[in-house]
Amino acid sequence: MSSPSKPRILLLGEIEHEPASEEWQALSTLAELVTPKATNRAEFIQECKSGALNGVVAVYRTFGSASITGRVDEEMVKVLPKGLKYIAHNGAGYDQIDVDVCTEHGIHISNVPTAVDDATADTGVFLAIGALRGFNLPLVNLRKKVFRGTAAPSLGHDPEGKVLGILGMGGIGRNMARKLRAFGMSVQYYNRKKLSDELADGAKYVEFEELLKTSDVISLNLPLNAHTRHIISTPQFHLMKPGVVIVNTARGAVMDEAALVAALDIGTVASVGLDVYENEPEIHPGLVSNDKVLLLPHMGTYTVETQTAMEKWNISNVRMALQEGKLRSPVPEQKDMAN
């Protein structure tokens, strides 16, 4: 009597760091490791329809794998292997996946939450201090061999005594709050739910509009979804303190870039630190040309240590799915979903 065949697990994207790579290969004792032949969405849909990926029960996917599959939406979910039950996404943000559609089809989704907190918060701190101090223009001029510029740059501002308003007080927001307190900033936040005193760690809970009206620096640390897209746009800029500084390390589309450019032009927003953009890798030309905008090309988790930890965490989601029939870190929308 032949033994039952192993389940299959699909790798979408690459595992780039050696310790994590070894852990992925070790899963071969539990399942057959599979990679797609497709290089674009049309080819991947056809590969699924052909039956070549039948037997796949779990998927490990990266942010970059969208170049192969596109968004995991209804069209995509309908052609995925019928036995697929788990998608492990290597990232904190998972807006590339339509969670509602996956839930309807019985597919469980996980993300990588806490492993990204330190590196992303560090990036936010860099952008907050850099934008407050107005470091962008001197950095650009120095590369042009013009020390400080032909005219002295405008004076920046110290973080001491300023109010930091955090929109989205999850792990990254709390991490950033702790680090910026060391610079003498006080912290207030708005969240879907007020945090326990222990988690808030001294940060003051305020309503959304109050945060906009009273913060000197506003940090966006919330996920992108249908409710948060353009949560910051023209009406919100009109509520902010004149000369506010904005930092975004979340997702570009939580803020209306065209409205941001206009707010910068009229001086409502004094300066900005951005790591994410509404239409990455494209950046609004009004941001690129503005000397008051400090730009990074989505570098939030771009460290050896963090990316290795993220890969290992995501592999642990796949391993748990195979061994226990559940995910280590299911996304919040599916917290009550039956296994």
Q: At what angle do helices 117-133 and 304-324 cross, to 10 degrees?
A: 150
Structure tokens at 68: 């192969």
Catalytic residue among 178, 229, 230, 298: 298
How far, CA to CA in Å, does 335 sit from each of 46, 62, 67, 314, 332? 32, 22, 29, 17, 5
3-state DSSP call for residue 186? strand
Confirm if 278 and 252 have CB atoms less than 8 A apart.
Answer: yes
Confirm if 220 and 246 have CB atoms less than 8 A apart.
Answer: yes
Confirm if 213 and 190 have CB atoms less than 8 A apart.
Answer: no
3-state DSSP call for residue 109? strand
Catalytic residue among 16, 280, 282, 324: 280
176 by Cβ neighbours in 10 Å (0-12 / 13-18 / 19+) ranks as: buried
Quick check: is 298 catalytic? yes
Q: At what angle do helices 117-133 and 171-181 cross, to 10 degrees?
A: 50
Cα dihedral value 266, 267, 268, 269, nearest 10: 120
Structure tokens at 213: 């009206």
Q: Which residues contact 314 (CB under 8 A, 6 or more apart)?
A: 60, 88, 89, 90, 110, 112
3-state DSSP call for residue 289? coil
Confirm if 310 and 112 have CB atoms less than 8 A apart.
Answer: yes
Confirm if 234 and 240 have CB atoms less than 8 A apart.
Answer: no
3-state DSSP call for residue 294? strand
Quick check: is 280 catalytic? yes
| Distance from C-alpha of 121 to C-alpha of 256, rounded to nearest angstrom | 22
Q: Find the length of the chain.
A: 339
Catalytic residues, by residue number, are 251, 280, 298
